[in-house]
Structure 1
Protein backbone atom coordinates (compact mmCIF):
# COMPACT_ATOMS: atom_id res chain seq x y z
CA UNK A 1 0.00 0.00 0.00
CA UNK A 2 1.53 3.34 -0.99
CA UNK A 3 2.29 5.99 1.57
CA UNK A 4 0.17 9.11 1.36
CA UNK A 5 0.79 12.71 2.36
CA UNK A 6 -2.02 12.76 4.93
CA UNK A 7 -0.56 9.82 6.86
CA UNK A 8 2.88 11.41 6.92
CA UNK A 9 1.47 14.73 8.07
CA UNK A 10 -0.63 13.15 10.82
CA UNK A 11 2.32 11.14 12.15
CA UNK A 12 4.59 14.18 12.24
CA UNK A 13 2.02 16.55 13.77
CA UNK A 14 1.14 13.99 16.46
CA UNK A 15 4.81 13.61 17.46
CA UNK A 16 6.21 17.14 17.26
CA UNK A 17 5.08 20.71 17.81
CA UNK A 18 5.13 21.94 14.20
CA UNK A 19 5.92 25.53 13.25
CA UNK A 20 6.10 24.76 9.53
CA UNK A 21 5.71 21.57 7.51
CA UNK A 22 6.05 20.96 3.79
CA UNK A 23 5.54 17.47 2.40
CA UNK A 24 6.23 16.94 -1.27
CA UNK A 25 5.34 13.78 -3.16
CA UNK A 26 8.18 13.59 -5.66
CA UNK A 27 6.82 10.43 -7.29
CA UNK A 28 3.95 11.97 -9.26
CA UNK A 29 1.36 10.61 -6.86
CA UNK A 30 2.41 6.97 -6.49
CA UNK A 31 3.71 7.52 -2.93
CA UNK A 32 7.19 6.11 -3.40
CA UNK A 33 9.29 9.25 -2.97
CA UNK A 34 8.77 12.09 -0.51
CA UNK A 35 10.68 15.06 0.77
CA UNK A 36 9.82 17.03 3.87
CA UNK A 37 10.78 20.34 5.40
CA UNK A 38 9.98 20.38 9.10
CA UNK A 39 10.43 23.30 11.48
CA UNK A 40 9.95 22.53 15.16
CA UNK A 41 11.05 23.94 18.47
CA UNK A 42 11.57 20.29 19.53
CA UNK A 43 14.81 20.36 17.54
CA UNK A 44 16.45 22.99 19.76
CA UNK A 45 19.94 21.84 20.78
CA UNK A 46 19.98 18.81 18.49
CA UNK A 47 22.46 18.14 15.72
CA UNK A 48 21.21 17.54 12.18
CA UNK A 49 21.99 13.85 12.58
CA UNK A 50 19.92 13.59 15.77
CA UNK A 51 17.00 15.43 14.17
CA UNK A 52 17.08 13.11 11.17
CA UNK A 53 17.26 10.04 13.39
CA UNK A 54 14.14 11.21 15.26
CA UNK A 55 12.23 11.57 11.99
CA UNK A 56 13.54 8.28 10.61
CA UNK A 57 12.47 6.44 13.77
CA UNK A 58 9.04 8.10 13.78
CA UNK A 59 8.40 7.28 10.12
CA UNK A 60 10.19 3.92 10.06
CA UNK A 61 7.20 1.95 8.74
CA UNK A 62 6.37 4.56 6.10
CA UNK A 63 9.97 4.97 4.93
CA UNK A 64 10.27 1.19 4.54
CA UNK A 65 7.54 1.40 1.87
CA UNK A 66 9.23 4.20 -0.08
CA UNK A 67 11.87 4.23 -2.74
CA UNK A 68 13.30 7.56 -1.54
CA UNK A 69 12.87 9.92 1.41
CA UNK A 70 14.67 13.18 2.08
CA UNK A 71 14.30 15.63 4.90
CA UNK A 72 15.34 19.08 5.97
CA UNK A 73 14.83 19.82 9.63
CA UNK A 74 15.19 23.20 11.30
CA UNK A 75 14.56 25.00 14.53
CA UNK A 76 12.48 28.17 14.02
CA UNK A 77 15.64 30.32 14.25
CA UNK A 78 17.52 28.09 11.79
CA UNK A 79 14.58 28.24 9.38
CA UNK A 80 14.46 32.03 9.46
CA UNK A 81 18.20 32.12 8.69
CA UNK A 82 17.69 29.60 5.87
CA UNK A 83 14.92 31.73 4.35
CA UNK A 84 16.99 34.90 4.60
CA UNK A 85 19.95 33.18 2.97
CA UNK A 86 17.91 31.85 0.04
CA UNK A 87 16.47 35.25 -0.88
Structure 2
Protein backbone atom coordinates (compact mmCIF):
# COMPACT_ATOMS: atom_id res chain seq x y z
CA UNK A 1 0.00 0.00 0.00
CA UNK A 2 1.25 3.51 -0.75
CA UNK A 3 1.46 6.36 1.75
CA UNK A 4 -0.83 8.51 -0.39
CA UNK A 5 -3.52 5.82 -0.20
CA UNK A 6 -3.33 5.75 3.60
CA UNK A 7 -3.40 9.56 3.70
CA UNK A 8 -6.44 9.71 1.40
CA UNK A 9 -8.40 7.20 3.49
CA UNK A 10 -7.77 9.20 6.67
CA UNK A 11 -8.58 12.54 4.99
CA UNK A 12 -11.85 11.15 3.58
CA UNK A 13 -12.86 9.71 6.95
CA UNK A 14 -11.89 12.78 8.98
CA UNK A 15 -13.07 15.71 6.87
CA UNK A 16 -10.78 18.71 7.20
CA UNK A 17 -7.95 16.81 8.89
CA UNK A 18 -4.32 17.68 8.22
CA UNK A 19 -2.59 14.35 7.56
CA UNK A 20 1.04 13.40 6.96
CA UNK A 21 1.92 9.76 6.33
CA UNK A 22 5.34 8.16 5.89
CA UNK A 23 6.63 4.65 5.31
CA UNK A 24 9.76 4.65 7.51
CA UNK A 25 10.81 1.11 6.62
CA UNK A 26 9.90 1.34 2.94
CA UNK A 27 7.96 -1.92 3.13
CA UNK A 28 4.50 -0.63 2.20
CA UNK A 29 2.92 -2.11 5.32
CA UNK A 30 4.47 -0.16 8.25
CA UNK A 31 3.34 3.46 8.41
CA UNK A 32 3.69 6.51 10.63
CA UNK A 33 0.96 9.15 10.54
CA UNK A 34 0.46 12.55 12.09
CA UNK A 35 -3.17 13.63 12.14
CA UNK A 36 -4.41 17.05 13.27
CA UNK A 37 -8.20 17.39 13.28
CA UNK A 38 -10.62 19.69 15.07
CA UNK A 39 -12.93 16.72 15.73
CA UNK A 40 -10.40 15.35 18.22
CA UNK A 41 -11.05 18.28 20.59
CA UNK A 42 -13.08 16.45 23.25
CA UNK A 43 -11.66 12.97 22.65
CA UNK A 44 -9.17 11.07 24.75
CA UNK A 45 -5.99 9.90 23.03
CA UNK A 46 -7.43 6.40 22.73
CA UNK A 47 -10.61 7.76 21.13
CA UNK A 48 -8.53 9.81 18.69
CA UNK A 49 -6.60 6.73 17.62
CA UNK A 50 -9.79 4.69 17.33
CA UNK A 51 -11.26 7.36 15.03
CA UNK A 52 -8.22 7.08 12.75
CA UNK A 53 -8.33 3.26 12.80
CA UNK A 54 -12.00 3.40 11.79
CA UNK A 55 -11.10 5.35 8.63
CA UNK A 56 -8.73 2.56 7.59
CA UNK A 57 -11.24 -0.24 8.12
CA UNK A 58 -10.22 -3.66 6.81
CA UNK A 59 -6.88 -2.34 5.55
CA UNK A 60 -5.65 -2.63 9.15
CA UNK A 61 -6.12 -6.38 9.05
CA UNK A 62 -5.06 -6.99 5.45
CA UNK A 63 -2.56 -4.48 4.09
CA UNK A 64 -1.36 -2.40 7.04
CA UNK A 65 0.76 -4.36 9.50
CA UNK A 66 1.72 -1.46 11.79
CA UNK A 67 0.64 2.15 12.22
CA UNK A 68 2.43 4.62 14.48
CA UNK A 69 0.08 7.52 15.26
CA UNK A 70 0.49 11.05 16.54
CA UNK A 71 -2.84 12.82 16.89
CA UNK A 72 -3.93 16.22 18.14
CA UNK A 73 -6.80 18.69 17.86
CA UNK A 74 -6.47 21.85 15.79
Which of the five TM-score ranges fits, normalised by the shorter chain? 0.7 to 0.9
Aligned length: 72
Q: Tell me the CA shift for residue 26 of structure 1.
A: 1.7
Q: CA RMSD in A?
A: 1.3
Q: Which has the higher contact order (CA 8 A, sep 6+)?
A: 2
Change (3 A) 1:70 1:9: same
1:25 to 23, 26, 34: 23
Structure 2: which 5+ runs fail to align? none
TM-score using structure 2 length = 0.84
Query: Structure 1 length as normaliser, TM-score?
Result: 0.73
Query: Whose Rg is larger?
Result: 1
Q: CA deviation at 1:52?
A: 0.7
> After TM superposition, where is structure 1 displaced by more than 3 Å over at least 4 residues in a row?
none
1:57, distance to aligned residue in structure 2 (A): 1.7
In the alignment, structure 1 segments of 5+ residues that lack a partner are 77-87
